[in-house]
Every structure is written in structure tokens, then in C-alpha cells.
Amino acid sequence: MSPELLKNKSQYKNVLSIMDSSEWLLFITTFIRRKNRITRLYWSYLFLGFLLAIYIFLSNGLLSVDHRIWIVGLTGGLLVSLLISPVLHELLHAVSFKFYGAKAIKIRWNWNLFRFNIQANDFVLSKKKYYLICGFTFFVFSLLPLVIAFFTSGVWLFALLSLSFFHALYAMKDLAVCSYLYKFPNCYIYSSEENKTIFYKTLP
């Protein structure tokens, strides 16, 4: 899909435009709470992950483990989720955007959202491709660490559980976008050269 074709008003309609971090913050808080299959899966993951962590602690007698192991493991996972996994997460997004045809990509830290912001200039991404990209990064940095945690112990167990949970929180923006796109059967995301993100839907 080329940007020129997407801007053809006879086939596609601009349904939402987001320009700055304050608009993104409102968008995230609105659509991460919208009830649909995406948000139900997301909140269920966080809740079940929390219950699973409690089960692991109780079933393995981890409550009696030296508290220093707890502190090092949980803090280590938090630091990885703040300093390392966000960089790799956004790098995977950037590589995916380039793979799908983006010519130029800007990466910068957004203090208001406390996350990196990826902006591909004059680039169109379909709903299906966006779901695929977000699903892959969520699998790599949240689901996979949770599964691996079952086969570890000590500091690694706490670190992986911590990484799984905190990365899921970091991915909230991705899931909010997926939640918004869920209501449109056929839609696209356009990143303009003015750092504006525009959502289009296909007209019937």
C-alpha cells in the first residue's frame, strides 16, 4: 500500500490523527481500557501472570529463600525491562518497518510516555502487519521469559518473571493501538513526515 493510494479519499477515510505525546497518552489510557478481545487477553495475561508468579513462589518454597535473591532478581528484571528490552523492542519494530518498506526511521526517547518513540516517515502499515509486529515483540519479551522462568531457579527465576511483567506494561502503547484497530475490519496506519500518526479505514 502506497501513501498516495491511501490518501485517495474515495476509498479510505481518516478516522484519527495523533501528533504529540499528550495525545498519545490520552489515546493509550482510553483504548487500553476499551473492552474487546485484545484488551481482555492483555489484562488476563497480567492477572494470570501475577497468579502464576504466586503459585511458583508457593509451590517451590521460595518464600523462605534469602531475600537478597528476591531483591537482585526482581531489580535485575526491572532494569532489563527499562534499559535493554525497550531498545531491542523498538529495534525489532524499526527492522520490521524497514522490511515492510519504510525509507527513513526516527528513534527518540519520549519522557512523557517514558518509552522510545519510533517514527517512519511517509510510511503505511496495515492492521494485519501491525498485529504481527506487536505480537512478535510481546512473545519475545513477555511470553517467552515467563515460559523460561519455569525451567530456572534463584535469581534467574525472579529476573525473568520481573522482565515478563514490566515489559508487558511497556508494551501498553502497542496493545492500545491494537485495541483501537480491532473495531475496524480493514484499516491502515500512516506515519507522516511531520511526525504525525494517522489512522485510516477502508470505506464500504
Q: What's the pLDDT score for residue 5?
A: 58
* 16/73: higher pLDDT: 16
- Residue matched to cell numbers 474487546: 36
Burial grade of 137 (CB within 10 A; 0-12, 13-18, 19 or more): buried
Whole-number pLDDT of residue 158: 79
Task: Answer yes or no: is pLDDT of 182 > 70.
Answer: yes
pLDDT band at residue 128 using 50, 70 and 90 as cut-offs? very high
Q: What mean pLDDT comes out for the span 28-54?
A: 90
89 versus 60: which is more confidently predicted?
Answer: 89
Return d(Cα 162, Cα 50) in angstroms, integer: 10
Q: Please check whether residue 141 is in contact with residue 167, taking contact to mean a CB–CB distance below 8 angstroms.
A: yes
Query: pTM of the full predicted structure?
Result: 0.86
- Res. 26: pLDDT tops 80: yes
pLDDT of residue 66: 55
Please, which pLDDT band fits residue 134 given cuts at 50, 70 and 90? very high
User: Rounded to whole angstroms, how far apart are CA atoms 77 and 83?
Assistant: 10
In terms of Cα–Cα distance, which of 175, 190, 184, 179 is closest to 202?
184
Q: What is the pLDDT of residue 180?
A: 95
- 114 grid coordinates: 517514558
Top-confidence residue, 82 or 66: 82
Residues β-bridged to residue 204: none
Which range marks the domain in which residue 194 is found? 3-202
Number of domains in the chain: 1
Of the pLDDT bands very low, low, confident and very high (cuts 50, 70, 90), residue 69 is: low
Residues 176 and 169: beta-carbon distance below 8 Å? no
Q: So what's the pLDDT on residue 131?
A: 96
Task: Please tell me the distance from the alpha carbon of residue 25 to that of residue 145, in angstroms, as a whole number.
Answer: 27
What SS3 class is residue 204? Answer: coil
- As given in the structure block, the three cell numbers for residue 78 are 526491572
Share of the chain above pLDDT 70, in %: 84
129 phi, psi to nearest 5 deg: -70, -35
> Long-range contacts of range 41-47, CB-CB < 8 Å, 24 or more positions apart?
42/168, 42/175, 45/142, 45/168, 46/165, 46/168
**Nearest 5°: phi and psi at 168?**
-60, -35
